[in-house]
A = this chain, B = another copy of it.
Amino acid sequence: MNQAVSEEHARRLSRLDIEAIEMFISFLKLIGLPKSVGEIYGLLFVSSQPLSMDDLIEKLQISMGAASQGLKLLRSVGAVKVVYTPGERRDHYVADLELSKFAASFIKEELNPRMQRALERIERMEKEALLMEEPEKAVAFQRIERLKHWMERGQKMMPWILRFLVS
């Protein structure tokens, strides 16, 4: 991780750039985003001007494909905006500084769908448990109760977290 950004890149990346990039690689990995996305966002975050895809490819030494896909993802999450630079052919990109967008997207794309599926699953589990014989049956229902309890807890917490983030 300390050598996440190699010497080669240092030619064009400042130390500030590198610190920011490593920081975002580390945090975005936490929510399952690949290194290249962390690199792109990190660099845009510290850059004082908008950067073109070419700038990113050159400074970060990543491929066209990675740059294009990374930007696509970051745009879809609202973490990066396109800036139309008049007289410039290529699009330029800036970081939206609202970091909550990552968390919000994680909740919306990863957490909520799973909770939805979990609720369906719990219903099926209850149906299965009804068919069981008695010593195990009671245990099964107790465990399923537990799951429901945690789901409710999660669902109560989520809007609170979102409000806190957006504030």
CB distance from A129 to the nearest CB of B (A): 6
Known: A97-B143, A135-B48. A114 touches B26 (CB 8 A): yes
Give CA–CA (A97, B8) in the complex, Å: 50
Q: Which of B27, B128, B135, B164 meets A16, CB within 8 Å?
A: B128
Known: A48-B136, A48-B139. A30 touches B146 (CB 8 A): no
Judged by a CB distance under 8 angstroms, whether A20 is at the interface is: yes
Give CA–CA (A121, B132) in the complex, Å: 56
Interface residues of A toward B: which range? 35 or more
When the two chains form their complex, are residues B19 and A114 in contact, meaning their CB atoms are under 8 A apart?
no
Known: A20-B125, A164-B157. A30 touches B114 (CB 8 A): yes
Other A-B pairs, 20, CB within 8 Å; known A16-B129, A30-B110: A14-B128, A15-B128, A16-B128, A16-B132, A19-B124, A19-B125, A19-B128, A20-B125, A20-B143, A22-B121, A23-B118, A23-B121, A27-B114, A27-B118, A30-B32, A46-B143, A48-B135, A97-B143, A97-B146, A157-B161
Q: Can you report 26 residue pairs joining A to B where beta carbons are below 8 Å apart?
A: A14-B128, A15-B124, A16-B128, A16-B129, A16-B132, A19-B121, A19-B124, A19-B125, A20-B143, A26-B117, A27-B114, A30-B32, A30-B110, A30-B111, A30-B114, A45-B143, A46-B140, A48-B135, A48-B136, A48-B139, A48-B140, A97-B143, A97-B146, A99-B146, A99-B150, A157-B161
